[in-house]
Amino acid sequence: MASNADTPRARALGAELRQARSHKGISTRKLAELIGRSGSHISRWETGKLAPTEADTATVLAVLGVRGSHRERLLELARDASDPNWVAPGADKQLAMLMEYERTASTITNVEPLMVPGLLQTYQYARHILSAFGAPRGQAETNAHMRIGRQHVLTDAPPKKLIAFIGESALRFPPCSHGVMIEQLQRLSQSAQRDTVTLHVLPHGLALAPLLCGSWLLIEFPQAKPVVHLEHFGSSTTLTDGKAVNQYRDSVALLQKHAMSPAESADFISKLSKQKEKS
């Protein structure tokens, strides 16, 4: 029988249960008393170290007052918690899990051939990107605020290390207005000065396998096994299988070999920003 410990769905379920408990305003100890479990059980469920059974999940949801479609979605996560990989329609389906991964990570490597990484985006840039993907104006604005809110992981303690690979095309031919991109380039220049952020620009014309599959994140943790998160148009995928994840880990050195160095990248971004300001 496959383990359901620390799988993508287990992490997503745990994050959702923690949010529901916090919203209800009760402690882990109180919840444990109410359902006849130990406090360590609740903690392990909420961190994804152990996924509760469907029956346990139903009991917790009843105590927390979670009903309707929200309840059904969480029960489905519990049923499928043992699957080491997760493909879901729509990036929002895995958002709670992704936020939990970012919160607990030690190093995040983000490869973005065609856009600026989400953890480095400005609000206006994020809003334009989300609109380009078909989100209505109100939803694009709401999701852009959520994306900006996730950026606190780069400044919270303990600090996370971000290694970002950005395609030259993403900087030269942005899906937003001239003024929005100038602001975004200035933000990237500021971010490049942080000790915890390493920026690499990927020059035009690189036909490397790690770039041909689109954008991806390699998320590494102090103790847990690393995961890979892929975002596609209309869907997202999370991989925890060791062999699959290692393919992405091994490709980072290849990208570093062909990308501009951090110093070259910072200089490129600064010069491009000045060019756009003059044009």
Q: Is the dihedral of CA 8, 159, 23, 217 positive or negative?
A: negative
Query: Do 145 and 229 fall into the same domain?
Result: yes
Position 12 in a domain = yes
pLDDT of residue 147 exceeding 60: yes
Position 188 in a domain = yes
In tens, the pLDDT along 188-211 reads 999 999 999 999 999 988 888 888
Q: Higher pLDDT residue, 261 or 238?
A: 261
Query: Do 73 and 204 fall into the same domain?
Result: no
How far apart (Å, rounded) are the C-alpha atoms in residues 162 and 172? 22
Query: Do 73 and 105 fall into the same domain?
Result: no
Position 85 in a domain = no
Which amino acid, residue 149?
A: G
In this structure, what CATH number is given to the domain that contains residue 171?
A: 3.30.870.10
* Token couple for 216: 């991806």
In this structure, what CATH number is given to the domain that contains residue 72?
A: 1.10.260.40
pLDDT of residue 132 exceeding 90: no
The range of the structural domain enclosing residue 228 comes to 91-278
Position 153 in a domain = yes
pTM over 0.85: no
Query: Do 16 and 72 fall into the same domain?
Result: yes
How far apart (Å, rounded) are the C-alpha atoms in residues 198 and 135? 30
Query: Do 149 and 228 fall into the same domain?
Result: yes
pLDDT of residue 107 exceeding 90: yes
Binned at pLDDT 50, 70 and 90, residue 235 comes out as: confident
Binned at pLDDT 50, 70 and 90, residue 1 comes out as: very low
Judge contact between 244 and 154, C-beta under 8 A. Answer: no
* Token couple for 23: 């919203």
* Token couple for 272: 């491009």
Binned at pLDDT 50, 70 and 90, residue 90 comes out as: low
Angle at which helices 54-64 and 68-79 cross, to 10°? 150
Other CB atoms within a 10 A radius of the CB of residue 181 amount to: 24
Domain's final residue, options 80, 106, 137: 80
Query: Do 220 and 271 fall into the same domain?
Result: yes
Identify the three-state secondary structure at position 109: strand
Query: Do 133 and 269 fall into the same domain?
Result: yes
Q: Single out the residue of 150, 87, 88 nearest to residue 118, CA to CA.
A: 150
* Token couple for 137: 């104006």
Q: Total structural domains in the chain?
A: 2
Domain's final residue, options 43, 61, 80: 80
pLDDT of residue 122 exceeding 70: yes
Q: 29: exposed, middle or buried (C-beta count within 10 Å: 0-12, 13-18, 19+)?
A: exposed
